[in-house]
Structure 1
Amino acid sequence: MWRDESVTWQVAHRSPGAILDLLGRVDAVHGLYYVLMHGVFHAWDGGLWALRLPSVAATALAAAGVAAVAHRLVGERAALVAGCVYAVLPPVQMYAQEGRSYALVAAAVVWATYLMLRERWVAYTLVLLAGCWLHEFAALALLAHAFTARHARGWRWSAATVVALLLPLAAVSVRQAHQQLGWLGRPSWQDWAAYAVVGGACLLLARGAPRDLVRVALPLVLLPPGLLMAVSLLNPWYVDRYVLYALAGPALLAGARLAAARGWWPWVLAGALLVPFGIWSAWLRTPESRKDDVLAVAAAVRERARPGDAVVFMPSRRREWLLSSPEVYEGLRDPALAAGPTASDSLQGTELPPERIRAGLLASPRVIALLDPADQPLDPYPREAAKREVLASRFDLCSVTEVRGARIALYTPRGDCPPPRRSPAGRGP
């Protein structure tokens, strides 16, 4: 479990009233997803299985939706291939096994696309609106759908309804945008390169593909990510997972071209691509594929903690590392904490003023500090500076343990470091 999944876990375990109180201050964009996950955990508190099963099911549903679109526009053979192509794409596999909303959003957009082709406008409106309320950037799919259905009067009414009913969420999330997306930078050259490679490949696949399919698939892969990246040059809002549903476009085009292929070489090429995809897929199922591993951090703290130990998070947002392991966190003293996440209607709680943090640390016989990796920048805020100053000037650093995406440091007052552990005699230190 990494930190974003930990947010899902701890928010979904709050009461419905506490979730609503939180959404009024932060994370409204994920509000419907948190409510859904609260229902999942209420029905079955199955740990990581319960956390991730909705994403697994949603990815299967999205793959079926891609197949349904291809079946309607091309035929059965293209449907089978397109659905399989979508399922094996590495980004799709990544978010299929993650307890966040992106797989559910992709399923909603794909099935809304199918309903658009069937001109089932009420169902289209409801499904796309659900996707937008799961994550409002699903609304960018309307730009792609406009190229296919802009002359249909029913689509215009549906699009207007979706936009109108999304406005309340947009109004709240815009007020929260600074704290919600403040960590983002502008798209990197790698983002632009990936967009160019995928877009160029889709333009090549579109040559000779059925025209109706191209009108559906090409706008879907080009417009939502392209527009979000362009907007992010001014307001950094782009992350590839926000438009995961765009990958339905290349899956549709690849499925149609492979289904129509004559000879053996297209299938050999597709089979060759499965080798790096398989390696990538295996890597995605390791802790190294995520920024951190909150369960590993909690296990390392559990191993080192003693009754009465203080725990300090540097920076404070890393409190998330222990919030999904309450049996570990509740056994420690948090001298910087003013109010916990639920009491403060926040994700990681609120902290005391610097002088009170300093006094709390000085009264601690041992401090377990949870820090970012050494190559990460230090937060300049007064509270964080106070933590660093006290530990550096009044404590000895006794040990540092690196866990995926984190460091766990043990501090004691000057001269109180425990002696280093020794191996059995004759085996060295």
Structure 2
Amino acid sequence: MTSLALGLWGIDRQDSMWRDESVTYQVAHRPLGELWGLLGHIDAVHGLYYLLMHAVFALWDNGLLALRLPSVLATAAAAAGVGALGARLSGRLAGTLAGLVFALLPVTQQYAQEGRSYALVTAGVTWATYVFLRGIRTPGAARWWAAYGVILAVACWLHEFAALSLVAHGLTLWRLRVPWRVWRGWGTAAAGVTLALLPLMAVSAGQADRQLGWLGRPGLNAWLQFLAVCVVTVSLGRLLLRRPGGSELTALALPLPLAPTGLLMLVSLARPWYVDRYVLYGMTGLALLSGAALAHAVRRSRRLARPARVLTACLAAGAAVAVLLPWSLQVRTPESRKDDVVAVARAVEKSARDGDAVLFMPARRREWLLSRPALLDRLDDLALAESPTASHTLQGTELPAGTIRRRMLAADRVIALTDPVGQPLDPFPQEEIKRRILKSDFQLCARLPVHGAQILVYARPGHCTDF
């Protein structure tokens, strides 16, 4: 219930939507034939999620609420799964506290309110881990391993990096020194998951450069964050290892936040594939350890006199609120994401007139207006060759540089949508010609900064006041 309440609190995020959510929104609204064509070209890794959201919008097209509600429900399901795991491993109190910790984590709250697949993947991996635990503990556990394979295969089809949880589960079995029958059951299920994932892997491998080409190698901040998670996780594991049931708890919980993330970051030194949200499900392990540690602290506090217990509880609750409330408020603001396509569209609406020319610099920023097709239709997109639906792409295809140049020189007024000052400039010929012609043949009349973007209004030299 706590996770559900947190998910619904401020779910519209002050009527904002960032560009990844805009992709979900506009792609899920495409007819099934066009959606299928897109997945053959790009974003196959999100195909099952887009199909799910297509069904959601077909049944109930209620804007931002419909876009984000599946993630809210999935996060509540994941929190319930964490609670069930914690109860199995460390008792009911530990399970309750683990589910609460998971729900309160700022990163959990962030993706609970995001129209992307990561909360659903987390729910799938969490419940697969619960079934995995049942399979370890149950003799003749064929039905549990079958359920494990099905749940994890669905999670992997929602995002294929969920398959890295198999590495964490394999490490758990190794640390627990389980008998051969358990290895056989798990290995059969893992093989089934891999086979089920092969078609998606084959398609997405051909799309990898287009899909992940924007990523760079993990920077210093990413490594420091991972190091911090490692320190906290290992410290909690050492604290709990000697407690009753501690060896099984740490064997299950420790690999989840460390193995998938660490492996993906190492791979990304050669092939940049790492983004923290791709392995969001690792927070399950951290919550399990935290819940067990808090339960241990609560049990020890019972030795204190009643006034001391009350004071300790109040201080702990006050500290938690002081730390978590600012984060909780921040992730519900437009500024918590890279940009806000709703704010961009409103700024363009105020600045542009019917028939104005528009340029997107770079071309992928066309996404800022794709969820507002009525507004985009009012403008003359100078660089567009084929629309996203016609080209089976996310943002459409663009004309050759020479054609863009001719079309720009025939325009009197241009609305340019660009990244904020200081962002890297794309080196492609189309982007270079846009920048060069605007600088040589147009005058900048107005600059409208918006969160994560800027709208630049250009006119012919000496004619800014004519519009």
Give the equivalent residue in structure 2 for 1:127.
151
- How far the C-alpha of 1:199 sits from its partner, in A, is 1.2
In structure 1, distance between residues paired with 2:386 and 2:152:
38
Give the equivalent residue in structure 2 for 1:426.
none
In structure 2, distance between residues paired with 1:142 and 1:283:
34
In structure 1, distance between residues paired with 2:445 and 2:27:
34
Q: Please, which of 244, 249, 256 is the counterpart of residue 292 of structure 2?
A: 256
In structure 2, distance between residues paired with 1:79 and 1:131:
23
Give the equivalent residue in structure 2 for 1:343.
390
- How far the C-alpha of 1:256 sits from its partner, in A, is 0.7
User: Is 1:18 aligned to residue 34 of structure 2?
Assistant: yes
In structure 2, distance between residues paired with 1:330 and 1:307:
9
Q: Which structure 2 residues correspond to residues 149-298 of structure 1 after superposition, within 5 A? A: 149=173, 151=178, 152=182, 153-209=184-240, 210-261=246-297, 262-263=300-301, 268-269=315-316, 271-298=318-345
Contact kept? 1:258, 1:267, Cα under 8 Å: no
- How far the C-alpha of 1:286 sits from its partner, in A, is 0.8
- How far the C-alpha of 1:147 sits from its partner, in A, is 2.7
Give the equivalent residue in structure 2 for 1:352.
399
Give the counterpart letter for 1:366 in structure 2.
R
| Percent sequence identity over aligned pairs | 58
Partner SS for 1:348: coil
Q: Which moved more, 1:246-255 or 1:273-282?
A: 273-282
- How many residue pairs were aligned? 420
In structure 2, distance between residues paired with 1:270 and 1:182:
44
Give ranges in structure 2 of 5+ residues lacking alignment: 1-16, 136-143, 241-245, 302-308
Give the counterpart letter for 2:346 in structure 1.
A
In structure 1, distance between residues paired with 2:257 and 2:317:
20
In structure 1, distance between residues paired with 2:364 and 2:335:
21
Partner SS for 1:145: helix
Q: 1:36 to 1:235 in 2, by over 3 A?
A: same
Q: Please, which of 46, 65, 80 is the counterpart of residue 49 of structure 1?
A: 65
In structure 1, distance between residues paired with 2:332 and 2:253:
29
Q: Which structure 2 residues correspond to residues 6-155 of structure 1 after superposition, within 5 A? A: 6-119=22-135, 120-149=144-173, 151=178, 152=182, 153-155=184-186
In structure 2, distance between residues paired with 1:399 and 1:23:
39
- How far the C-alpha of 1:419 sits from its partner, in A, is 6.6
In structure 2, distance between residues paired with 1:321 and 1:232:
28
> 1:248-273: per-residue Cα shift (whole Å, max 9, x none)?
11100010111121125698457524
Give the counterpart letter for 1:134 in structure 2.
L
Give the equivalent residue in structure 1 for 2:351.
304
In structure 1, distance between residues paired with 2:348 and 2:203:
37
Partner SS for 1:342: helix
In structure 2, distance between residues paired with 1:299 and 1:251:
40
> 1:167-220: per-residue Cα shift (whole Å, max 9, x none)?
111111111111111111111121111111111111111124221111110011
Q: 1:419 to 1:310 in 2, by over 3 A?
A: closer
In structure 2, distance between residues paired with 1:377 and 1:136:
29
Q: Please, which of 321, 324, 333 is the counterpart of residue 380 of structure 2?
A: 333
User: Is 1:400 aligned to residue 447 of structure 2?
Assistant: yes
In structure 2, distance between residues paired with 1:218 and 1:356:
57
Q: Which structure 2 residues correspond to residues 342-421 of structure 1 after superposition, within 5 A? A: 342-418=389-465
Give the counterpart letter for 1:122 in structure 2.
A
Give the equivalent residue in structure 2 for 1:425.
none
- How far the C-alpha of 1:70 sits from its partner, in A, is 0.7
> 1:283-304: per-residue Cα shift (whole Å, max 9, x none)?
1111111111000000010111
- How far the C-alpha of 1:377 sits from its partner, in A, is 1.5
Partner SS for 1:376: coil
TM-score by length of 2: 0.88
Which 4+ runs in 1 deviate beyond 6 A?
none
Q: 1:313 to 1:416 in 2, by over 3 A?
A: same
Partner SS for 1:236: coil
> 1:82-103: per-residue Cα shift (whole Å, max 9, x none)?
0000001111111111100000
Give the equivalent residue in structure 1 for 2:7.
none
TM-score by length of 1: 0.95
Q: Which moved more, 1:55-64 or 1:208-217?
A: 208-217
Contact kept? 1:399, 1:411, Cα under 8 Å: yes
Partner SS for 1:397: strand
Q: Which moved more, 1:258-267 or 1:203-212?
A: 258-267
Q: 1:197 to 1:273 in 2, by over 3 A?
A: farther
- How far the C-alpha of 1:276 sits from its partner, in A, is 2.1
Give ranges in structure 1 of 5+ residues lacking alignment: 421-429
